[in-house]
Amino acid sequence: MIALDVFESAKSYTIVADLPGVAPSDIKITVKDHVLNLFAERPPLKLQQDSDDGDGDGSDKESVVQHRAERPSGVFLRSMALPFNADGESISAKHR
Rounded to whole angstroms, the Cα distance separating 25 from 71 reads 20
Strand partners, 29: 38
CB 19 within 8 A of CB 96: no
Q: Per the confidence metrics, is the pTM higher than 0.75?
A: no
Residue 59 pLDDT: 60
Please tell me the predicted confidence (pLDDT) of residue 90: 87
- What is the DSSP code string of 36-92? EEEEEEEPPP---EE---SSS-S--EE--------S--EEEEEEEEPPTT--GGG--
Q: What is the pLDDT of residues 15-33, one digit of tens each?
A: 999 898 899 999 999 999 9
Tell me the CATH number for domain 21-84: 2.60.40.790
Separation in Å, CA 26 to CA 38, 64, 68: 11, 26, 24
- Residue-wise pLDDT for 38-93, tens only, equals 999 998 877 766 655 556 555 666 778 888 888 888 899 999 999 888 888 888 88
